[in-house]
Structure formats: structure tokens, C-alpha cells
Amino acid sequence: MILALPPDVKAIIETLQFHNHEAYIVGGCVRDSIRGTRPKDWDITTSARPCEVAAIFPRTVETGIKHGTITVLINSRHYEVTTYRIDGEYLDNRRPESVTFATHINEDLSRRDFTINAIAYNPNKGFVDPFGGRDDISRKIIRCVGNPEERLEEDALRMLRGIRFTGQLGFSIDEATFKAISATASNLANISAERIREELTRLLCSSHMEALKLLETTGLLPYILCGHMYSGSIDKTIPLLTACPNNETLRLAIFFAWSGNASEEILRSLRFDNKTIKEVTMYTRMIHTNILHSRYEIKKVLRQMPHGWFENLLLLQSLFYPKEAERLAAIRREAQDIQAKGECYTLADMSIKGEDLIAVGTPPGKAIGDKLEELLDAVMREPGLNETLFEHISK
């Protein structure tokens, strides 16, 4: 099997070889190329030391010099070139304390997480695949390199990565690796919330949602939920996620639908941004709310959220309650008509403001807010009243 390499990648490999160094593409780009999928990134590994790589290429950046990585810039593209290395001892279940440069490609491949990522390729020499990664790709298996418990003890994030790969690729986890994940699941508590968040969202946005079940069967789920007890049903959640558009916020809302208001605390613990927290929490709070089919009731819901969120809420409700799809579609059309006609349902859209009430003698303070709310409620019931509010309060 011959892999097609981009001209820039091929040029980097040929340039390193011209200077008497070995060079291969390695990792995910090899895996994806074998599967017939276009790689997003191209990583290169070489026998050359970082200083030698920097001396060979005219435009480089020391992006990861501690770990032997130099970024080579060609035609406005960035390519990571990393020296063969052996990782030192792992003391925090995440990163090696030290890195030693190696002299042979097999030494570098032996430190990698899964066999499908421990394959190197050179256009002239072909594949270097000491751990049977190509066979595992063919068999659609996720399997640790070497002893699975050792691999996962080194870096606990590999447990989530393995499950995420099953979701992205449609593979299954081999028995020994599955048992190792279950045995070392508690080490996930040592991983930063940001990295857990990243793997979780990538899993939720993958193509094979049945992989989500592995979070439960391996015992990883409590550590993802930052200590919260999961009270939903993964078996019921999987088909909902499969039917949902591939949208991170909507899929998070489905995943956390069981949690109600607790979703805010979990999402904050996972270091999600404020907009995502606000939007997902709103959906989880209202996803099971019965929205009545009347213009007034629809306006009451529209008032609670930014433009666009209401349709997302209806989409989510239609997934959870498919028998209500026709009624929810009618509510969606009603909401669109309300917005198209510019009917008022927020204080900002009212024709009068607090200063207008003060001008006609309403005392400043709580009374102003109460009166505005009273008038807004009336306008939401009778849209035409908004045009005559000033006359109304002047009487």
C-alpha cells in the first residue's frame, strides 16, 4: 500500500534524508491515510535533533523544544517535526518528567498510546508497524501499545482518548484495554478539567454515539461529571444524540438533560465558556417544559432567551417527544410569525421606558419595575397596545 503525501510533507522528508537523517510521517495522519480519510494534520518524526532540524529549514518555530518538536513553516502551512524520543517516568498520570532522544524509530513508536497511532511511513521504506497497528485498523480495534495498564497509568487521558476514537472511527476496544481502563478509571481525577472537556465534546460530536456507553461500563462517567451522580439513561440518550444535528451545544444539552439546574455546576467545573454554560443550562432547565400553543405563552418563553435559542429548544423537545412534533412545528411557525410582525415581548421593545413613568408621577424604585412588567404583560396579550402606551399612562 502506497500513501499519498502532500508535496510539502514529502519535501520535508526528502530534505531531512538529503542531510542524512531518517524521517517518517507518524501517528494519526498514517492511521487516517490507511483508512482512506484525508488527515487534518501531518506529523513527522525524525532521527535529527531539534537543533539540526532548525538548521536545515529556513523558517522554523521552537514550539515544543523540550519534547523535541520544531514547527517547520512551508507555504504558510505549519508542520510539526519531532525527534525520536523515549518518555521518562510519569508521576502525575499525564506527562513524562523527562524526555530522552532516541536513535531508532521503533523506540519512538513504543511510547505511543494505541497501536493504530503507532505506525510510521516513509515513501521509500514503506511502513514501520512493530505493534500490528495496520491489522488493528483492519479489524477496527483500539488496543494499547504494550501493557495496557502501564500505558494508561502513564497518561490517564488516554482512557478518554481511546473511547473517543471508538466514537470517531466506529472501532471497538479490545478486551485487555477495556479491563485496564476499568481498573485505572479513578486516575482520570488527576486530569485537568479542560482536557476532559475537550475529549468529551469531541466524543459527543463523533459519528458513532454507541461509544458513549463505554463511559458508563468502564466507570469513567463519575469522573467526567465532577463527582455528580449520573441519573439519566445512556441507552436512551444514545439514539437522541444520533438523531440530533452535529452541534456541540445541542448535544451537550441532550447529554446533560437529566441534570436540570445541576448542569451549570458541572459545566462550570469542566471550564466551559460562559455562553455555552448559559445556553446549555437553559435547554436542560426547559427541555421538558410544556410550551402551550398560544401567542401569549410563546412570548413568555421567547422572552427568556436570545434570538435563535427558542427554535433549538423546540428541536430538542421534538427529539425527546416525537409524538409532539406536529404541535411543536405549529408553535415554531407561530413564534416565527410573532417575530416577523415585530410583536413586543421584552422590556427593550416597549414604546415607553422607566423615565416616561417617572415623568407622569410614578415614584422611582421598585414601583417603576413593577409597572413596566404589568404593562409588558398587557402588551404581550394585546400587541396593538404597545403603540398607545404613552397615552395610556398619561391618563
Prediction pTM value: 0.89
C-alpha span between 48 and 273 (Å, rounded)? 40
Helices (H) and strands (E) in the chain, counts: 21, 11
For residue 118, the enclosing domain spans 1-133
Residue recorded with cell 535533533: 49
C-alpha span between 147 and 161 (Å, rounded)? 17
| Residue 91: pLDDT over 60 | no
Instruction: Report which of 262, 226, 267 is spatially closest to residue 249, judged by C-alpha positions.
Output: 267
Domain stop point among 73, 107, 133: 133
In a domain, 144, yes or no: no
Confidence label for 229 from pLDDT (cuts 50, 70 and 90)? confident
In a domain, 145, yes or no: no
Whichever domain contains 36, its CATH number is: 3.30.460.10
Domain stop point among 133, 160, 186: 133
pLDDT per residue as tens digits for the range 267-319: 999 999 999 999 999 999 999 999 999 999 999 999 999 888 999 999 999 99
Per-residue model confidence (pLDDT) at position 14:
97
The residues facing 79 across adjacent strands are 72
Segment 204-216 mean pLDDT: 96
| Residue 94: pLDDT over 60 | no
In a domain, 112, yes or no: yes
Give the distance from CA 1 to its chain's centroid. Answer: 33
In a domain, 324, yes or no: no
| 3 state DSSP class of 29 | helix
In a domain, 3, yes or no: yes
φ/ψ of 304, rounded to 5, equals -85, -5
Structurally, the chain folds into a number of domains equal to 2
C-alpha span between 321 and 325 (Å, rounded)? 7
Per-residue model confidence (pLDDT) at position 99:
76
Query: Which helix (H) or strand (E) element contains residue 235?
Result: helix 234-243
Burial of 204 (0-12, 13-18, 19+ CB in 10 A): buried
Segment 139-145 mean pLDDT: 98
Total number of residues shown for the chain? 395
In a domain, 259, yes or no: no
Domain stop point among 106, 133, 160: 133
C-alpha span between 192 and 181 (Å, rounded)? 18
C-alpha span between 5 and 14 (Å, rounded)? 12
In a domain, 363, yes or no: yes
Q: Please say whether the beta carbons of 33 and 27 come within 8 A.
A: no
In a domain, 36, yes or no: yes
Per-residue model confidence (pLDDT) at position 88:
61
Per-residue model confidence (pLDDT) at position 359:
83
Helix/strand/coil percentages in the chain, nearest 5: 55, 10, 30
| Residue 98: pLDDT over 70 | no
Query: Which helix (H) or strand (E) element contains residue 256?
Result: none
| 3 state DSSP class of 7 | helix
- What does the DSSP assignment read for 338-389? HHHTT---SGGGSS--HHHHHHTTPPSSHHHHHHHHHHHHHHHH-GGGGGGH
Query: Which helix (H) or strand (E) element contains residue 297?
Result: helix 295-302
C-alpha span between 115 and 296 (Å, rounded)? 59
28 against 259, higher pLDDT: 28
